[in-house]
Amino acid sequence: MATVEVLTSEVVVPAEETPAGAVWLSNLDLAARRGYTPTVYFYRTNGKPEFFEADAVKDSLARALVAFYPLAGRLGLDPTGRVQIDCTGEGAVFVTARSDYVLDDLLNEFVPCNEMRDLFVPPTPAPHPPCALLFAQVTRLRCGGVVLGLALHHSVVDARSAAHFVETWASIARGDDDGGDTAAHRAPVPPCFDHHLLSARPTTARAVAFDHPEYKPEPEPAAHAVANGSTYASTLITLTKAQVSALKSRCAGASTFRAVTALVWQCACRARSLPPDAETRLYSMIDMRARLAPPLPPGYFGNAVVRTSALATVGEVVANSVGYAARRALAATSQGDDYARSLVDYLEGVDAMNLPRSGISRAHLRAISWMGMSLHDSDFGWGAPVFMGPALMYYSGFVYVMQAPAKEGAVALALSLEPESMPEFRKVFADEMTRLG
């Protein structure tokens, strides 16, 4: 593995004075994983001397922080001890570095793991108040290419909000709508920081109408289902447009995310060699922005996702067609406003800041959709990234489903499994891909 040398580390403050005060966080923000989400964007050089020039990147970041001013603040506590955002304007951490990697070699070697995260994403502090909320690193490669590494605090943003910020930052860097200082600081879609839109209902109107096992401690797992600590093997897999279409034809009515996740679930159950009567749970995260009544504003900036899950036995998942697993996934990911409001009300009655956040048992899988978060919108003026994805996986059993770069209709998977299960998963999944053509 090549090395990375840090050149500079500084704090970038908003280009203008920004509002002070505090941003209240909803129960969904408090229930999110307490920590930073590290991501990486790989860019091929366009050969021009201004390609990802550090001062230009910093200047556009400073202007983006005007619209997204909470990211320049710090995680804080209100008088009751509830986590909030203190809008202090202190700024985001910005690091420059260089590496002896060549982009094509990096693309061949990269898998989400701690080592890659440590190379290309700035180190972050303990994720508790007071801490910065945004860390960015621009690493120039030996070939002239660049890796942009980001870490955003998950108590402040979900994936959709993080993408909203990066797309706005990139738009400002490109000079879109640059009709003067004020226009240059505008977000194409203005962010909305009113998290009270996801407040619990008044006490007399609260109704926890659903069970929410995804927010409760897992029952003591069977011996065969214990996760192997934080040790995992990770991989990146691409499904072609034709393979995705063939898979969806087996899963009538399923979205790309549900169809792909169903196949991964089935293959993981086979690769893990679990007994047929073992229970397996497929966890998902569902974006509720458009599902609420009324829907959240398009620029809602915060956590608006809820955990859901489908439960089956390993025998049911393995013995039936992939369409069966997709139907189970569909049933678990079709909830609307009533489900989300039930969850918010449930979280009001528990300690949402200290929910169980450990890994999942070896029988389970946690799938997250990054579909619809377009790579070309991360063009800072020098071309779209050739890859974007998570810098690491948190534990075994994680899968991200993303659009594959430069391959319309193709899908990329970032997957982690127990090291002993990964070789068999690769074989089983490859066999399925062959059948899909």
Residues 6+ apart with CB under 8 A from 32: 154, 155, 158, 303
Does residue 29 have an active-site annotation? no
Number of H helices and E strands in the chain, helices first, is 12, 15
Alpha carbons 288 and 304: distance in angstroms, whole number: 6
Residue 354: phi, psi to the nearest 5?
A: -130, 40
> From the candidates 59, 338, 377, 379, which is the catalytic residue?
379
Tell me the DSSP string of 210-247: S--GGGSPPPPPPGGG---TT--EEEEEEE-HHHHHHH
> From the candidates 153, 154, 195, 364, which is the catalytic residue?
154
Alpha carbons 422 and 295: distance in angstroms, whole number: 40
Coil/strand/helix, residue 258: helix
Alpha carbons 69 and 89: distance in angstroms, whole number: 7
CA distances (Å), origin 367, targets 19, 71, 94: 37, 27, 31
Residues 6+ apart with CB under 8 A from 198: 26, 27, 28, 296, 302, 304, 344
Alpha carbons 327 and 333: distance in angstroms, whole number: 10
Among 35, 435, 49, 81, residue whose Cα is nearest residue 249 = 435
Residues 6+ apart with CB under 8 A from 243: 433, 436, 437
Does residue 338 have an active-site annotation? no
Four-residue CA torsion sign, 114, 116, 121, 122: positive
Angle of CA points 200, 202, 203, to nearest 5°: 100
Tokens of 111: 């898998």
- Relative to beta strand 398-403, strand 365-369 is parallel
Among 24, 113, 148, 116, residue whose Cα is nearest residue 77 = 24
Q: What is the DSSP letter of 293?
A: S
Place of tokens 């910005």: 94
Tell me the DSSP string of 60-118: HHHHHHHHTGGGGSEEEE-TTS-EEEE-----EEEEEEEES--HHHHHHH--SSHHHHH
For the annotated catalytic residues, the residue numbers are: 154, 379
